[in-house]
Structure 1
Amino acid sequence: MIEVPNVKEIATGQASGKIILMGEHAVVYGEPAIAMPFSATQVTAVIRRSQEDFLDSAYFTGPLTQVPQSLNNLKELIYMLRQDFAAPPLLCTITSTIPAERGMGSSAAVAVAVTRAFLAWQQVEETPAGLLHYVNQSEKIAHGNPSGIDAAATSGTEPILFERDKPFHAFPLKLDGCLIVADTGVKGKTRDTVRDVASLMTTNPQQAQRAIQQLGDLTRQAKEAISANQARYLGLLMNEAHTLLQSLSVSDPTLDQLVQVARRNNALGAKLTGGGRGGCMIALATDAHNAAIIANQLENAGAAATWIQRLGYTPAVPVSL
């Protein structure tokens, strides 16, 4: 137990969303993938002292003891932090623009924001290792055996190359352009698509393994394109990746339609992101003006919401429409 006598009256913590830029599904089979923070969507947590532990959020407002099972990871995170720092009861207020169950790291981002707010409240210096310790504990409760990539991406400022059983590798974002994320409005079906890709690896191993290997190659090329500020080349790689993901049966008509709308409106490239069959798609644009046009057309085509992030900055900058 850590004794911390000084407690601020109120403290705030923030975290960004995250997207998988390249390599989804292939990463399950040992190929690399790239995740990156997406700061156009964010979570903010505010902590202050209270008579009892109390949560105020869009999903639940009330005593922490009464939170639904779906928020058990957040309840346990707060109890863990309070115990480790001998902290008094608290009121935690959470606001978020990250859609849940869309592959954008919502649960990890909430844990990052809450942990940052708590450490600031206790006037304890935040360290990357300390932050990730608590966030990963929360993610284990939420997801069982998480890779840790959501925790790293939602708390960081740079793209991350990751491979199974290897350390994460962050690298600079040196790319001029804008990234658009569009929400289909449908929860992603990651478990179904992972299962179906595994089935395809058994029933048609030659086709499936070739697609997986090609996705890995595209991811490696994408890292080089980002590092060399080659936005147009990255767009072409994204298009190829979507075609391969279609061949693995992880896309669906809604995602394919939004991808085509983005391309018809001069996106450099577009593809699904995350588990597929719902969730989100991403598109790359040359600048904020073109990104706004693409986002508008995506919403006209049925996207539930869109967000734009200007790239080439550290951290990347959200764009207001």
Structure 2
Amino acid sequence: MLTLGMGKATGKIILMGEHAVVYGEPAIAFPFSCTQVVATVQEATENQLHSIYHEGLLSEVPTGLTNIQQLTTRLQQKLHTPNFQLSIKSTIPSERGMGSSAAVAVAVTRAFFAWQETILPKQVLLDYVNFSENIAHGNPSGIDAAATSGNQPIYFERDKDFQTFPLNIDAYLLVADTGIMGQTRSAVRSVAELFETSPDATSLHIYQLGQLAKEAKEAIIHNQPEQLGQAMTKAQKHLQDLTVSNKALDTFIQLALDEGALGAKLTGGGRGGCFLVLTQTKQQAQHIAQKLKVEGVKDTWLQGLGVYQHV
């Protein structure tokens, strides 16, 4: 056993397919390296958590950290560790659709296995993260676990092995934070309720979102930014009809389109959180970012898709 175990994970961006991926349709996601989580764990007299949300005994964490409490309990039992002090530091904004809870679970699991000097197979890591995500959100698709634990873009279908997927398209992706906490659990529940009240219409929306994810994949493969942008904007309309957007997202997204964006849509669970804006050039993205900040967007990040690196 090491004196200190450390684990890291990145944030994630879902480019296409959120919500539909829960029902078996494909999605495209990639790790977002400009935001990350670092977890460290070491021996202590009692199980403790040190984070911006809780300082003290693990047994006294607030309800919102129940997933971390149960995940660490399971890790302690499975790995037969002594009592511990867990520290978590994150630059991923929470409840913004950027995979914060999954990334924390990835980093924590890696830290525990590193601490015990135990090999951590990929599937074992994903099992632990999905266990935590099920507590945090209910019925997770697995895409957050896959994207935050990897270092390459992925093409994901539930209950199938995810495929690494090269993003190589001459365009820029602006990621913008509305400043409003997303409501993943309620959004997922609302879509499930729509399947009960309007099964045919809801099934069609889900199917179309899957088709648009496939179109987006082809647009990326063939370096067609305009087609990718069109697919993104069409996807946003379906997400609106599924009630997982909100007024703030709709307003910001329309502003971006009015300013010449190739496409725009929410990302993640919706009803707040972040959204994506695709532009042809870096200058366009910077111009739109300035406009959005004037209108109240909290923060923005810029991702060059042609070279897959944060700009």
Shorter-chain TM-score bucket reads 0.7 to 0.9
Q: Which one of the candidate residues 4, 17, 32 is aligned to 1:23?
A: 17
1:83 is the counterpart of 2:74: no
Contact in 1 for aligned 2:262/2:278 (Cα 8 Å): yes
Partners in 2 of 1:48 and 1:216 — Cα distance? 44
With over 3 angstroms needed to count, the CA separation of the structure-2 counterparts of 1:286 and 1:126, relative to structure 1, is farther
Counterpart for residue 232 of structure 1: 226
Partners in 2 of 1:286 and 1:260 — Cα distance? 17
Counterpart for residue 310 of structure 2: 318
Per-residue CA shift, 1:264-309, capped at 9, x if unaligned? 3333211112333322211123344443332232221111222223
Partners in 1 of 2:61 and 2:186 — Cα distance? 28
Tell me the secondary structure at the aligned position of residue 13 of structure 1.
Answer: strand
User: 1:108 is matched by which residue type in structure 2?
Assistant: A
Contact in 2 for aligned 1:183/1:303 (Cα 8 Å): yes
Cα distance, 1:207 vs. partner? 5.1
Q: Which one of the candidate residues 30, 33, 37 is aligned to 2:27?
A: 33
Q: Which one of the candidate residues 46, 70, 76 is aligned to 1:52?
A: 46
Contact in 2 for aligned 1:10/1:46 (Cα 8 Å): yes
Cα distance, 1:16 vs. partner? 1.3
Counterpart for residue 37 of structure 2: 43
With over 3 angstroms needed to count, the CA separation of the structure-2 counterparts of 1:248 and 1:68, relative to structure 1, is closer
Counterpart for residue 208 of structure 2: 214
Contact in 1 for aligned 2:236/2:266 (Cα 8 Å): yes
Per-residue CA shift, 1:80-111, capped at 9, x if unaligned? 32333333333222111222222222111101
With over 3 angstroms needed to count, the CA separation of the structure-2 counterparts of 1:288 and 1:10, relative to structure 1, is farther
Partners in 2 of 1:244 and 1:165 — Cα distance? 24
Counterpart for residue 180 of structure 2: 186
Q: Which one of the candidate residues 139, 145, 151 is aligned to 1:151?
A: 145
With over 3 angstroms needed to count, the CA separation of the structure-2 counterparts of 1:246 and 1:91, relative to structure 1, is same
Tell me the secondary structure at the aligned position of residue 29 of structure 2.
Answer: strand
Q: Structure 1: give runs of 5+ residues left out of the alignment.
A: 1-5
Partners in 2 of 1:253 and 1:137 — Cα distance? 33
Cα distance, 1:191 vs. partner? 4.7
User: 2:131 is matched by which residue type in structure 1?
Assistant: Q
Instruction: Give TM-score, length-normalised by structure 2.
Output: 0.87
Q: Which one of the candidate residues 288, 299, 310 is aligned to 1:305?
A: 299
Tell me the secondary structure at the aligned position of residue 218 of structure 1.
Answer: helix
Per-residue CA shift, 1:41-60, capped at 9, x if unaligned? 21111223333322110100
Partners in 1 of 2:115 and 2:142 — Cα distance? 25
Cα distance, 1:202 vs. partner? 6.4
Partners in 1 of 2:186 and 2:123 — Cα distance? 33
Partners in 2 of 1:195 and 1:108 — Cα distance? 19
Partners in 2 of 1:130 and 1:203 — Cα distance? 37
Partners in 1 of 2:283 and 2:93 — Cα distance? 25
Q: Structure 2: give runs of 5+ residues left out of the alignment.
A: none
Cα distance, 1:124 vs. partner? 2.8
Counterpart for residue 164 of structure 2: 170
Instruction: Give TM-score, length-normalised by structure 1.
Output: 0.84
Give the share of equivalent positions with the same residue, in percent.
55
Counterpart for residue 3 of structure 1: none
Per-residue CA shift, 1:211-253, capped at 9, x if unaligned? 4333222110111122333333211211222233334443322
Per-residue CA shift, 1:176-197, capped at 9, x if unaligned? 4332222222233345544555
Partners in 2 of 1:39 and 1:154 — Cα distance? 9
Q: Which one of the candidate residues 258, 275, 282 is aligned to 2:276?
A: 282
User: 1:307 is matched by which residue type in structure 2?
Assistant: W
Partners in 2 of 1:300 and 1:25 — Cα distance? 30
User: 1:99 is matched by which residue type in structure 2?
Assistant: P
With over 3 angstroms needed to count, the CA separation of the structure-2 counterparts of 1:110 and 1:284, relative to structure 1, is same
With over 3 angstroms needed to count, the CA separation of the structure-2 counterparts of 1:53 and 1:257, relative to structure 1, is same
Per-residue CA shift, 1:106-129, capped at 9, x if unaligned? 111101011122222333334312
With over 3 angstroms needed to count, the CA separation of the structure-2 counterparts of 1:252 and 1:120, relative to structure 1, is same
Partners in 2 of 1:199 and 1:55 — Cα distance? 36
Counterpart for residue 160 of structure 1: 154
Tell me the secondary structure at the aligned position of residue 176 of structure 2.
Answer: strand
With over 3 angstroms needed to count, the CA separation of the structure-2 counterparts of 1:132 and 1:211, relative to structure 1, is closer
Counterpart for residue 109 of structure 2: 115
With over 3 angstroms needed to count, the CA separation of the structure-2 counterparts of 1:85 and 1:97, relative to structure 1, is same
Structure 1, 56-65 or 115-124: larger mean CA deviation: 115-124
Structure 1, 158-167 or 92-101: larger mean CA deviation: 158-167
